[in-house]
Each structure stands twice: as C-alpha cells, then as structure tokens.
Amino acid sequence: MIVVFSGHQPALHDSIPVFGSEDDTLVLDATKLTWASPMDLTGLAAWASAGSPLRTSLLLPENPSLSNYLHRMDVPRSMSEQGVAVHGPRAPEVREEHSDQLIEVRRMDGQSDVSLFASDVYRLVNTNVGDKAARVVHSLLGELLDNVTRHARSESGSFGAAQVYTGATTGRAGIEISVSDPGRGILAALRSNPAFAGIPDCRGAIDASLQEGVTGDAEMTDVPGHGNGLPRVVTQLRTHHGRMVLRSGDAVVRITARRRLRTVSVSVPGTWAWIRLDTQDGRLAS
C-alpha cells in the first residue's frame, strides 16, 4: 500500500490518497509534500506504527527545506527507531535550535510520557503567549490526551507535536498542536459500551463523541459530567475562535464557528486530532 502525503497540509484535508499494492508493504510517500502541519507529522508516525515496521518505508520530501523540517521535527528519527526504512535527504549536520518555538514529534507510551508532553506544551505556550493562553491550551490538550490514555488501546502508544507560529511566513500567528494514535478508533471505543453498540459507522461515532454524556466507559455512562471531554474542547475552541480537525477511521470533522462532518474515501488508523488557536500581539486573538 502506498499512502501519499502531498501538497499543503494533506492531513487537514478530506482524503489522503492511498493506492493498493500486491504485497503487504507500506510506503508513506511524502516526496511531494509542500507544507506540513503538526497533524501531518504525527499522522505519518501513527500510520507507520500501525503497520509492520520492517515492511514500512518513509520517502522524505524532495523540497530540501521541508525535508530539513521533518528532520528537525524528528519524524525520520522516530520512525528509524521503530525499524522503518527512511529514504531521502539526510539530516543536516548542524541542528538548529528552536526549542522555544516547537516540540518535536514525540512518542507517548504511558501516563508519564503523556504528562511530560502536556507540561512541555504548557511551557512552550507560556513562554511565547503567556500564562492565560497556556492554561487554555493545557485544558484543551488535557481532554485530547485523556481520550488517548483511556480509550485508544494502542500498543504503539501515541504521538504528539506542537509549534508556535510567529506569522512571519504565513501572516497568521498561532499555536498548533496535534495528537495522533494508531489505536482502535472512536467507533470501536464507543461500541465497547453497550449503550452505544448500535452506532453504525465512523461518522456516527464522531458525531456521538461530540455530544455530552457519550463515553466508551459503560460503568460511567450515567455519571454526571463524564463523557463531556470533546464537547468541552469544542466549547473552549469556539470561545477563543479556535479550530479543530478530528479524524478517525473514514470520517473527519472540522470545527470552527460551525461544524462540518463527513465520510471520506480513505480510512486512517486510530484517531488523529489537531487544534489551532490564533494569536495577536503576543496573546490569544479575540
């Protein structure tokens, strides 16, 4: 199977092109990638983890600056450590220091890794945008990470990345964070609760997950306040004019002031989440 990450932020679009092959190899082809969001980076890592590492290859971007960026974000290194074959330009001999603006792709395997990632994101946002923004982001991220910890059931863990954008290149300053896992997905998680066993597909599962009181934990179904994680994320994002893209299986939802949910032609492994908050003059945009 060949999975093509091409163009501008492909993981944030509806479908990621996939082509069949005669064997069980997995090729993640990023040769034509022109701009990568944190979700592209964590999505690549999650997809690589979903297959057999020894039968998986990553083809790095032909664009030298973008290839260097993937190296800087530790995508090739994290995959190589899993046994994935990486093809393309080698890492630059000099590694530029940007720890004040980004958190490289990081594998999280267990609660201690999750907690460390959350605290590092808080530090990153606090350094660049201040404590108020950091507390907002920490709350949003906490809900997403809780879903990974409690429901993903991923044997390969999950992957997180974050970046603060100054707006010098795009004209849009902001904070972007992504958490992706190759686990069982939202549909299987909700169906594990008999109350939601009848959900028909991934689109229905995402739709249900955005409603209050919906949870895969059967014993917590009637507990007040439980199952409200994603609805709280949506409320907070709209309060701060933020955005979210959530993918699971063959469904994707985009949330801004409005919500667009659809079924797409390609199913991704697990659940991928991306959030963005715009900033202006060193604080959250209002």
Domains of the chain, with CATH numbers?
Answer: 2-284 (3.30.565.10)
Q: Which residues pair with 259 in a beta bridge?
A: 255
Question: How crowded is the C-beta side of 167, counted as CA atoms within 13 Å?
Answer: 13
Q: What is the pTM of this model?
A: 0.93
pLDDT (tens digit per residue) in 74-84: 999 999 988 99
E-strand stretches of the chain: 2-4, 7-8, 18-19, 26-29, 33-35, 56-59, 85-87, 102-108, 158-165, 174-181, 243-255, 259-280, 283-284
Confidence band of 219 (pLDDT split at 50, 70, 90):
low
Confidence band of 251 (pLDDT split at 50, 70, 90):
very high
pLDDT (tens digit per residue) in 176-205: 999 999 999 999 999 999 989 999 999 999
pLDDT (tens digit per residue) in 12-30: 998 899 998 667 889 999 9
- Give the residue carrying structure tokens 């998986």: 56
Burial classification of residue 281, based on how many CB atoms lie within 10 Å of its CB (0-12 exposed, 13-18 middle, 19 or more buried): exposed
Average pLDDT across the chain, whole number: 90
pLDDT of residue 127: 93
pLDDT of residue 284: 86
Q: Which residues pair with 7 in a beta bridge?
A: 33
Confidence band of 53 (pLDDT split at 50, 70, 90):
confident
d(CA 158, CA 13): 21
Burial classification of residue 169, based on how many CB atoms lie within 10 Å of its CB (0-12 exposed, 13-18 middle, 19 or more buried): exposed
pLDDT of residue 216: 75
Residues 6+ positions from 56 with CB-CB distance below 8 Å: 25, 26, 27, 28, 48, 79, 83, 84, 85
Burial classification of residue 80, based on how many CB atoms lie within 10 Å of its CB (0-12 exposed, 13-18 middle, 19 or more buried): middle
d(CA 38, CA 41): 5
Least-confidence region, from 145-154, 162-171, 274-283: 145-154
Strands 56-59 and 85-87: parallel
Confidence band of 218 (pLDDT split at 50, 70, 90):
low
In 3D space, the residue among 34, 236, 229 whose CA is nearest the CA of residue 144 turns out to be 229
* C-alpha distances out from residue 9 to 25, 74, 82, 147, 241, Å: 24, 18, 24, 24, 20
pLDDT (tens digit per residue) in 62-119: 999 999 999 999 999 999 988 999 999 988 888 878 888 999 999 999 889 999 999 9
Q: Which residue has the higher pLDDT, 25 or 171?
A: 25
pLDDT of residue 154: 82
